[in-house]
Amino acid sequence: MQKVDSASTPTGHPDSELQQRLSDYGGAREGMRENGKHVLGREEPVEAAYYSNRKMLVGLDIVCLFVASIPFFACELKAVKPYYRGFFCGDSTITYPYVESEAIPDSMLIAGGIIITGFAIALGECYRVRMRRARSRAFVGNLYVACLYKELGSFLFGCCIGQSLTNMAKLSVGRLRPNFLSVCNVTYTSLGCTPGKYIDQVICSSTPKEEEEARKSFFSGHASFAMYTMLYLAFYLQARLSWRGARLLRPLLQFLLVMLAVYTGLTRISDYRHHPTDVLTGFLQGALTAYWVAFHISSMFKTGRQASVCVSLDSPMSLSSGQTSC
């Protein structure tokens, strides 16, 4: 009997052990669910805070764009008057005639610079998203919007910075345009001055608006804006146009863009709106702004460096995937 009882005990033990394991497993699953809920509940606020911070950064970008454009609008809205600078009697640099028509008016300059560069950037970014499978870490789910926001936003920020610097110089320097005397409708004879005498005040018969515009020669806004937009687009082509089938196509396009900017500045001299030094300074300011924005603010060249690091560290499949990051 003792043998039978001892034999029956092991046969019942596996059933009880199995039940114990099932109960332990069920408790473990329930505990995992509770832990899972706890983890999810802890991740959701973190993710919400992440997106909230991203939205705050977008708002900060908009505020920075507005602040950078304040000097530009202050000049355009006539909120600040230019510095009233005098001249020496007999100065031939301000005796050129007034030409009413301009080779490249302001409307054509702004529309052409923004439309040409903006359309090219939009087309290039859409191609990257569509064909190159560009990726983005932005909180915006639409890749097109994310890439366009970064590149076009950087470009517009540079426009505001460049024109604000230009208008600040115009207002603070107050250099007289080459056609100043013609705009004021005065001559050295009518002023009755002796050559070499400094004249600090002159009564112009033109409107106050025309007189103020005649005191904004330094430096050329046309030259700075044209050089910035065209050179920035040339930098963008350097970073994005990587088609090896035409080695000379990219340099040719870049040359045409820079030539268009130079032509725009030269027309300001032939229209007697600016002195040659005004145009040269505008070229320099536009080029420096384009370089600064393209290499230190925009992500066009940073993307190339990051992509090379990813290719060197990731699997060999990343080399053939053609994915880029914006």
- Catalytically active residues are 222, 274
Q: How far apart are CA 200 and CA 215, in angstroms?
A: 13
Pairing outcome for strands 87-88 and 198-199: antiparallel
Type of residue numbered 79: A
Q: How far apart are CA 200 and CA 40, in angstroms?
A: 75
Q: How far is CA 37 from CA 24, 28, 43, in A?
A: 20, 14, 10
Q: How far apart are CA 273 and CA 170, in angstroms?
A: 13
With tokens 């507005």, the residue in question is 66
Return the SS3 of 209: helix
With tokens 């859409």, the residue in question is 126
Contacts of residue 126, defined as CB under 8 A and 6 or more positions apart, other chains included, come to 144, 147, 148
CA within 13 Å, CB half, 149: 17
First to last CA, the chain: 82
